[in-house]
Amino acid sequence: MHDEAAVFQRQGFGAGLGLRPPLGLLIIDFVNGFADPAVFGGGNIPPAMRQSEGLLALARERGWPVAHSRIVYADDDSDANVFSAKVPGMLTLKENSPASAIVAELAPRPGELVVRKNVPSAFFGTTLAPWLTARGVQTLLVAGCVTSGCVRASVVDAMCWGFRPVVIEDCVGDRAIGPHEASLFDMRQKYADVIDLAQLRAQV
């Protein structure tokens, strides 16, 4: 994307946001269904999940607020919406469905927020923004899947709410690499900083 990057740079996109404390962490939809290529997974999601174990451990060690999200629809499908009309399989993700459960390696601990959503953004119609605000979060580190879907939607909303999103590049994944890379490029230019876990460790 060399030529495209030059266009964005010439037009003034891509300024850095930096890591302004306090920091918080949002882990988006790292659930069993997205870990399984036979359900909603594939691509580079499994290595992103594994790498996020180190990110979560770092956040807990530093005492940063941690939030997780999972997709949950009502058992009777009464909250079916345009998202589930576009991706009907999403309706299989219920409160007690194993596919909707956060993977064991990244299981929430007491005091960490779990956001239930039925649209791509972890912010839309949830308590996430006020929860982060109450804890003083300025910079929101973002991990999860998929990069081109729920991650990107959540990053855009985080920016709209006034948080400074920082996407941890090796801790986000997508079932297809093309959309993953395009979305990272897009977020880096317009909505977020994009760094890897090693760069984060070096800065905190």
Residues with catalytic roles: 150
Helix (H, G, I), strand (E, B) or coil at 102: strand
Estimate the share of the chain in helix, then strand, then coil, as percent rounded to the nearest 5.
Answer: 45, 20, 35
Q: Where are the beta strands (DSSP E) in the chain?
A: 23-28, 66-71, 113-117, 139-145, 164-173, 193-195
H-run or E-run covering 7? helix 2-10
Please name the residues in contact with 46: beta carbons below 8 A apart, sequence gap of 6 or more. Answer: 35, 173
The answer to whether residues 128 and 134 touch, using CB atoms and an 8 Å cutoff, is no
Instruction: Please state, in angstroms and rounded to a whole number, the distance separating the CA atoms of residues 56 and 68.
Output: 11
The answer to whether residues 156 and 191 touch, using CB atoms and an 8 Å cutoff, is yes
- Among 18, 26, 99, CA closest to 56: 26
The answer to whether residues 148 and 174 touch, using CB atoms and an 8 Å cutoff, is yes
